[in-house]
Amino acid sequence: MNDAEEPGLYHYSPYNDRPRITWPNGARIAFWVAPNVEFYELDPPRHRVRPSWWRPHPDLVNYSIRDYGNRVGFWRMIEMLDALKIKASISLNVAIFEHLPEIGKAMVDRGYEIFSHGLFNTRYMYDMTEEQELAFIELVKAQVKKHANQELAGWLSPALSNTPQTMNLLAKAGIKYTLDLMIDDQPQPVLVNEGRLISVPYSLEVNDWTSLHIAGAPPREYTRIIKAQFDRLYQEGARSGTVMCLPLHPWMIGYPHRVEPLYEAIDYIMSHDKVWHCTGREIADWFYAHHYDAFLAQQARAASGL
């Protein structure tokens, strides 16, 4: 295969021929919940590559739908997560800390992990120079440290707008894991110029955005999808540990008729034994400590044909 046909960020690694992953206490599956808590601008600067809104600016209709998530949906969602005793990992537009400090305080008070979803979800990383992108990463790190007193560990680019240099710059900045590479159901080493970086499984399939909004699935079908995803990964996790991420959006899942079906799905998962309910940071730290070297060596051997 020609180098130009691959991103050059990871080696090919067949799912059935890898070092075995073990999770804490013999768990089969690492289950983590990743709400995307986002801030959308009503009339953001126009971007050459991609429009922020589909309608003419200012797009009050779409802005107000997202604003519902922060005014109502977020609070309904965290009440549900509290009831289920879920420790969330928040994919955060860090502008939330300044613009909606009540939401920031609620997340910090609960001890949620905060990882990056950029500054605003209406400003993208496309066309940034390496210097601009690295400064952007450092800005987000500083905001998370200032408001949550956490060292930033994870990264999901705002609106998934990563660039060819993003992975190298994340590793250079000391970020531990990325969600921009949705390549697998297990963590994978990412090939970077310096430092270390891994890809932790995220999902655009078992995601309220694609299931409820894009595909238009009824809430009960969304429940079935989540359970089916879990059942298969739980079964395969008996051979080697798997990861299931459940991404959420308050402006999608926070509507009254969608809360109970989601509650049912998460409660179903949490009712099983051998489930490690964890954060993205915990998955990354465990993988680095117990499996990173073996995976990297195995993939390098496979890439060299040995």
Spatial CA neighbour of 180 closest among 285, 172, 165, 193: 165
Query: pLDDT (tens digit, 9 = 90+) per residue, 35-77?
Result: 999 999 998 877 777 777 677 788 899 999 999 999 999 999 9
What's the whole-number average pLDDT of the chain?
A: 93
Listed in order, strand segments (DSSP E) in 62-144 are 89-92, 113-116
Query: pLDDT (tens digit, 9 = 90+) per residue, 93-149?
Result: 999 999 999 999 999 999 999 999 999 999 888 989 999 999 999 999 999 999 999
Give the contacts of 195 (CB within 8 A, at least 6 positions apart): 171, 172, 174
Burial class (CB in 10 A: 0-12, 13-18, 19+), 274: middle
* Preceding omega of 58 cis (within 30 degrees of 0): yes
CA-CA distance, 179 to 198, in Å (whole number)? 9
Q: pTM above 0.85?
A: yes
